């Protein structure tokens, strides 16, 4: 073999030896890596077992128990509602509902046709419920059907072994007064919606829970709702109940006493009848709402179980809006009721005292003729209010200017919420130069002020605003926050939270010169004796107020207010009170498309008369039974003595020497006229076309 051949052979042998050496080294490395992996896996497994068996032993034991223990909810009854005298308004009645329990691994589909037949439902309805609650936890029972009938209860009991997924729960459902009595004030309840569940206020609620949806039911839901309980039952592997364990009792909701008086509420309901609009009666000394009516209304009992889709669509598409509480949510130009506020502004500014106009059926201002409904002749402030002379207030508004008018109107709560403890109150509108720039990015025109002077144009108010404002004026400028629940009967922290939640103008004091106060209150009293509301005069009762006719077409076409076309008739306002100064009751009526404001005055008179009659009965009874001094509302009865007034009640708030302080055995008898009036002027006023 030559040298090259021996070298090649040696090189091949060396390469083979090196290759074998490298191949023998690789399995050792892999083995080492594999050993480390096994050790790591074992360590993880041991750590996991330690966590399961030692650290989280209690948690897993509880979960294991949950597989055989089912929690059945015990629903808390809502608190009852009473009127101010403790008479029951809203109660509860016992009911049974069916819930669907979704056991892990149990297929419900085969049972659905039988369930649907037994509960008088369709399979599609059950599928819709399952779809609605598809994101709910599996352990949470789903509300299948509410307020089931006795035969449906029997069906569930008869098939309990084969369909353990059906569970019955006892609960209390709302029972409201008949015929929609105080419905818009009380409100209604319903199932919490998905949108509400996304609201932080409802973070503690679960799908299927019942919550207040409007009125008192919504505003005080947290107090009325109570706290649900539960009972624990043992179930077998098929979900069948085999035993009972402990029970966590539910905590009923808190009862609430409302400020409304059932007798005054009934009088207001009867007075408004089937007319569209609202009535609100309030004690201006305290802000307590004595009655609140809105028409058309609805039956809240329809919501107590679950309102049908057709009925719900009918309510929300009704053009007359029965779900709207018109007492706090309907805003309209206040018409001539605004002249009381104008009188305050004019007198307080020192303008109206010696201001006189010659009314010849209107006035020409800024190149435009503004009509008045009558030729009143020479008119001063003492006649302008009871006669409701538009010409006087046109010219007074032009003299004051919009910002001065707005200053006093805002101080009296116009254009802002009152802060009443009911949801969705509307603020209304009070225009000004700043308002025009902010809303429309333009300047305010002087001619617009003229219309505002008679409560037309851009100004808009709600009945509750006008009741508070005019009642506050008659009370010497003391305005109270309206409320429907007695605040001192609420927990302190809840009372504070309510004030924050329902913010508004609240309590306020607007200084009014006593002389100006007398002029205004005497003018409102004359409105019901010889002015625009003389037909609603109440004999023996110091009844005062102001009419308002808010045109919905245009003011110059007076015929429109009595048109046979409903949508063209004016809105009829009246705000009345008794007595004229420091009144114990103020009533505002908004009669939608009612025509002249004098028609609403008649409705207010009915409510005032019912209130006074009740107070007189109470005073007589209390005086007969208790000779000691006793307080009835705002009226004090005294026994006969040489220093008193022969047993006649005295209003301690009336100014000394005020004839309104001597009342009946009535706080409401007419006082003697404060000032002599021109008899010819009175005769002219009686012939005035009232508005």
pLDDT at 675: 41
| 550 within some domain | yes
- DSSP alpha helix (H) spans, 81-203: 112-118, 123-132, 150-158, 183-186, 194-197
Q: Residue 419, exposed/middle/buried by CB under 10 A (0-12, 13-18, 19+)? A: buried
The reply to whether 50 falls in a domain is yes
The pLDDT, as a whole number, for residue 620 is: 80
Look at residue 305 in the predicted model and tell me its pLDDT.
78
- Tell whether 84 and 28 lie within a shared domain: no
Number of domains in the chain: 3
Q: Does residue 636 lie in a domain region?
A: no
Task: Say whether both 158 and 24 belong to one domain.
Answer: no
Closest among 301, 141, 253 to 207, alpha carbons compared: 141
Whether 661 is covered by a domain: the verdict is no
459, part of any domain: yes
Q: What is the pLDDT of residue 100?
A: 85
Domain assignment present for residue 565? The answer is yes
Q: CA 473 to CA 412: how far, in whole Å?
A: 8
Domain boundary among 257, 289, 310: 257
Tens-place pLDDT, residues 178-232: 889 999 999 999 888 777 777 777 767 776 788 999 999 999 999 999 888 777 7
Whether 408 contacts 388, CB under 8 Å: no
Cβ neighbours around 292 below 10 Å, total? 31
Instruction: Specify the DSSP class assigned to residue 340.
Output: H
If you search the block for the tokens 């060396």, which residue do you land on?
A: 14
Under DSSP, is residue 60 helix (H, G, I), strand (E, B) or coil? helix
- Same domain? 250 vs 267: no
Contact 512, 473 (CB under 8 A): yes
Contact 465, 508 (CB under 8 A): no
pLDDT of residue 148: 87
Please state, in angstroms and rounded to a whole number, the distance separating the CA atoms of residues 140 and 99: 10
Task: Please tell me whether residues 21 and 79 are part of one structural domain.
Answer: no
Q: Given this model, what pLDDT does residue 177 score?
A: 93
Q: Do residues 113 and 41 both lie within one domain?
A: no
H/E stretch holding 468 reads: helix 463-474
Question: Do both 246 and 280 map to the same domain?
Answer: no
CATH number at residue 75: 3.90.1310.10
The CA–CA distances, whole Å, from 441 to 209, 401, 414, 437 equal: 47, 19, 22, 4
pLDDT, position 161: 77
H or E segment to which residue 546 belongs: strand 544-550
Q: What is the DSSP letter of 534?
A: G
Residues 518 and 383 in one domain: yes
644 found inside a domain: no
Q: Provide the domain limits for residue 223.
A: 69-257
List the one residue out of 385, 335, 279 whose CA is nearest residue 596.
Answer: 335
Q: Please state, in angstroms and as integers, the Cα–Cα distance from residue 557 to each residue in 4, 59, 221, 419, 518, following that order.
A: 132, 80, 48, 37, 34
What is the distance, to the nearest Å, from the Cα of residue 426 to the centroid of all Cα atoms in its chain?
10
Residues 32 and 158 in one domain: no
* Residues 330, 186 share a domain: no
The Cα-based distances of 396 to 399, 450, 512, 548, 577 in angstroms read 5, 8, 18, 18, 25
- Separation of alpha carbons 237 and 241, rounded Å: 10
Read off the CATH number of the domain in which 376 is found: 3.40.710.10
Same-domain pairing of 282 and 400: yes
**What is the three-class DSSP state of 430?**
coil
Taking only Cα atoms into account, the Rg of the chain, rounded to an integer number of angstroms, comes to: 38
Alpha helix stretches (DSSP H) within 71-181: 112-118, 123-132, 150-158
Residue in 396, 399, 455, 391 with CA at minimum distance from that of residue 429: 455
CA distance 311 to 175: 19
Contact call for residues 365 and 449 (beta carbons, < 8 A): no
Can you read off the two tokens belonging to residue 319? Answer: 């053009």
Give the pLDDT score at 646.
30
pLDDT at residue number 332:
94
Dig out the tokens for 453 from the structure.
């002077």
CB distance 581 to 658 below 8 Å: yes
Last residue of a domain, one of 240, 257, 274: 257
**Same domain membership, residue 26 and residue 115:** no
Close Cβ partners of 178 (under 8 Å, ≥ 6 residues apart): none
For residues 601 and 553, state if they share a domain. Answer: yes
Of 218, 236, 257, the domain-final residue: 257
Total Cβ atoms within 10 A of residue 549: 33
Q: 178-212 in b/e burial notation, b at 16+ Cβ within 10 A? A: eebbbbbbbbbbbbbeeeeeeeeebeebebbbbbb
Q: Which residues of the chain have pLDDT under 70?
A: 1-26, 52-72, 103-106, 203, 207, 233, 235-244, 246, 553-568, 621-691
Per-residue DSSP letter, 276: S
Nearest to 416 by CA among 344, 326, 504: 504
Q: Residues with Cβ < 8 Å from 677, sequence gap 6 or more?
A: 382, 526, 530
Q: How many helices (H) and strands (E) does the chain have?
A: 24, 23
Domain assignment of residue 342, yes or no:
yes
Whole-number pLDDT of residue 165: 80
Task: Give the single-character DSSP code of 675.
Answer: S
């Amino acid at each position: 073999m030559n040298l090259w051949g021996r070298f090649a052979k040696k090189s091949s042998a060396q390469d083979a030896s090196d290759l074998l050496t490298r191949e023998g080294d690789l399995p050792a490395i892999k083995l080492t890596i594999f050993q480390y992996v096994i050790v790591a896996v074992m360590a993880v497994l041991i750590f996991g077992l330690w966590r399961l068996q030692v650290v989280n032993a209690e948690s897993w034991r509880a979960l294991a128990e949950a597989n055989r223990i089912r929690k059945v909810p015990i629903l808390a009854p809502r608190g009852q509602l009473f009127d101010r005298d403790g008479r029951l308004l809203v109660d509860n009645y016992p009911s049974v509902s069916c819930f669907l329990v979704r056991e892990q691994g149990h297929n419900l589909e085969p049972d659905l046709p039988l369930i649907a037949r037994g509960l008088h439902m369709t399979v599609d309805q059950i599928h819709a419920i399952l779809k609605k609650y598809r994101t709910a936890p599996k352990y949470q029972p789903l509300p299948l059907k509410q307020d089931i009938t006795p035969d449906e209860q029997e069906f569930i009991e008869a098939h309990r072994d084969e369909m353990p997924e059906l569970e019955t729960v006892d609960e209390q459902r709302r029972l409201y007064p008949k015929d929609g009595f105080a419905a818009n004030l009380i409100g209604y309840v319903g199932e919490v919606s998905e949108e509400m569940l996304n609201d932080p206020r409802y973070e503690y609620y679960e799908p299927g829970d019942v919550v207040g949806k409007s009125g008192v039911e919504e505003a005080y839901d947290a107090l009325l709702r109570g706290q649900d309980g539960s009972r624990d039952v043992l179930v077998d592997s098929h979900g069948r109940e085999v035993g009972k364990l402990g029970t966590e009792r539910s905590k009923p909701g808190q009862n609430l006493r409302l400020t409304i008086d059932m007798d005054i509420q009934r009088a207001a309901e009867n007075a408004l009848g089937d007319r569209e609009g609202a009535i609100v009666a309030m004690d201006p000394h305290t802000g307590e709402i004595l009655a609140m009516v809105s028409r058309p209304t609805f039956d809240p009992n329809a919501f107590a179980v679950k309102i049908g889709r057709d009925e719900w669509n009918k309510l929300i598409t009704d053009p007359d809006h029965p779900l709207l509480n018109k007492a706090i949510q309907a805003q309209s130009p206040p018409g001539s009721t605004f002249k009381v506020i104008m009188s305050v502004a004019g007198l307080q500014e020192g303008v109206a005292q010696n201001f006189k106009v010659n009314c010849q059926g209107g006035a020409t201002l800024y190149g435009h003729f503004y009509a008045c409904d009558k030729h009143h002749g020479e008119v001063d402030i003492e006649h302008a209010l009871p006669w409701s002379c538009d010409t006087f207030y046109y010219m007074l508004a032009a003299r004051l200017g919009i910002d001065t008018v707005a200053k006093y109107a805002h101080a009296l709560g116009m254009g802002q919420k009152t802060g009443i403890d009911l949801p969705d109150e509307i603020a209304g509108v009070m225009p000004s130069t700043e308002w025009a720039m902010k809303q429309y990015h333009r300047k305010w025109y002087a001619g617009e002020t003229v219309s505002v002077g008679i409560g037309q144009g851009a100004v808009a108010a709600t009945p509750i605003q006008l009741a508070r404002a005019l009642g506050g004026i008659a009370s010497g400028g003391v305005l109270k926050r309206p409320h429907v629940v007695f605040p001192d009967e609420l927990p302190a922290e809840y009372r504070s939270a309510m004030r924050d939640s329902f913010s508004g103008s609240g309590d306020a004091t607007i200084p009014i010169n006593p002389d100006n106060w007398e002029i205004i209150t005497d003018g409102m009293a004359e409105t019901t004796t010889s002015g625009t509301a003389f037909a609603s005069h109440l004999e023996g009762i110091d009844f005062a107020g102001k009419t308002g006719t808010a045109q919905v077409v245009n003011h110059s076409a007076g015929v429109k207010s009595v048109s046979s076309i409903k949508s063209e008739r004016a809105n009829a306002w009246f705000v009345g009170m008794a007595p004229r100064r420091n009144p114990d009751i103020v009533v505002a009526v908004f009669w939608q498309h009612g025509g002249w404001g004098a028609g609403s005055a008649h409705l207010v008179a009915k409510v005032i008369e019912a209130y006074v009659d009740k107070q007189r009965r109470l005073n007589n009874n209390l005086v007969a039974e208790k000779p000691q001094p006793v307080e009835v509302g705002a009226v004090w009865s005294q026994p006969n003595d040489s220093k008193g007034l022969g047993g006649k009640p005295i209003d301690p708030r009336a100014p000394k020497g005020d004839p309104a302080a001597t009342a009946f055995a009535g706080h409401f008898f007419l006082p003697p006229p404060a000032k002599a009036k021109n008899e010819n002027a009175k005769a002219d006023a009686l012939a005035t076309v009232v508005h």
